Amino acid sequence: MEENGEDLAVTNDKLSQLSVAEDGGLNLGEKKKKKKKKPLADAEEALTEVTEGAADDDAADAGQLLDMSLTKKKKKKKPKARADEDAVEVDETAEGEADGEAAEASGSGLPWDGSDRDYHYEEMLDRVFGILRENNPELTGEKRRTIMKPPQVAREGTKKTVFTNYMELCKTMNRQPEHVQLFLLAELGTSGSLDGQQRLVVKGRFQPKAFEGVLRRYVNEYVGCNSCKSIDTLLDRDSATRIISLRCQQCNASRTVAPIKAGFVARTSRRIKT
């Protein structure tokens, strides 16, 4: 064990020749006091120091650590970029050991606990995001996709289609059923109405997929917020200007939406003979 420790120290010395800066880097070890600028060297030093310190009191722990350090020695021959990653890893293990050894831990679970080395950028970033995620999860910018139920569509007779869960979908979108109906009928170019059980009966044969596509367009146009993509929005109609505007409840953005126009509808039924 001691041999290994010494071995490490030797390699450490070699590393320290790259850049020599004298100062007390870590408070754990007492033998090595050379601080290197490179993170690799830094981690290396921390590791050796901890190893040496541990070797004094706890044999089992030290063995573990030496295992680590042995693998570490192998890694040293690899390019610098990899070594950098390794350095962070090893730092963490070193920190864990340091906690146990110093018998005094602040308990916040941060990588720099129990040592007064400099913080790494990644660690600080992790800390910030951890706090952010804990306190308000919606701010982290993770996508929460709103899932709507697929429309349930049944055929009524041969010429009519019934949209069974129409009301339910209107509720999830938080829109007036009349508005949705107007849009659906205008887009599908047919006529239809609500029946006694609040289902939408549309004239013509339509596949569920057709409804899905139209509903998707409806959500894009009249429900989804353009800036934050949430569907927690309200549709306001200004009675003076007759402009319909969409206001987002999440980010308070608002935009105007086009009124629903049926457009040209060709006559497909037979003309009544006069």
Partner 1 sequence: MTEVDSLQSGLGLDPFVEDGEDDSGKDYVHIRIQQRNGKKSLTTIQGLEKSFDYKKVLKAFKKEFCCNGNVVEDAELGKVIQLQGDQRKNVSVFLTGNNLAKKDLIKIHGF
In the set 18, 205, 234, 238, which binds partner 1 (CB under 8 A)? 205
In the set 268, 272, 273, 274, which binds partner 1 (CB under 8 A)? 268
Closer residue to partner 1, CB minimum distance, 100 or 213: 213
Q: Which of the stretches 22-30, 46-54, 81-89, 257-265 binds partner 1 when contact is defined by CB under 8 A?
A: 257-265
Determine how many CB atoms are found less than 10 A away from the CB of residue 175: 21
Name the minimum Å distance from CB 160 to partner 1.
12
Q: What is the CA radius of gyration of the chain?
A: 34
In the set 137, 189, 198, 234, which binds partner 1 (CB under 8 A)? 189
> Which of 59, 67, 64, 32 lies closest to 46 in space, CA to CA?
32
172, burial (CB in 10 Å: exposed 0-12, middle 13-18, buried 19+):
middle
For residue 100, give every residue at least 6 positions away whose Cβ sits within 8 Å of its Cβ, in sequence order, or none.
61
For position 133 contacting partner 1 by CB under 8 A, the verdict is no
Closer residue to partner 1, CB minimum distance, 63 or 204: 204
What's the full length of the chain, in residues? 274
For position 190 contacting partner 1 by CB under 8 A, the verdict is yes
In the set 28, 94, 185, 210, which binds partner 1 (CB under 8 A)? 210
Name the minimum Å distance from CB 149 to partner 1.
18
In the set 174, 193, 198, 226, which binds partner 1 (CB under 8 A)? 226
Q: Per DSSP, which regions of the chain are E strands?
A: 21-22, 34-35, 153-156, 160-163, 192-194, 200-203, 233-238, 243-248, 254-257
Coil, strand or helix: which one is 152? coil
Integer angstrom CA distances of residue 18 from 7, 13, 15, 138, 164: 18, 9, 6, 46, 75
Name the minimum Å distance from CB 257 to partner 1.
9
Where do contacts with partner 1 occur on this chain (CB under 8 A)?
186-190, 204-207, 209-211, 213-214, 226, 255, 258, 263-266, 268
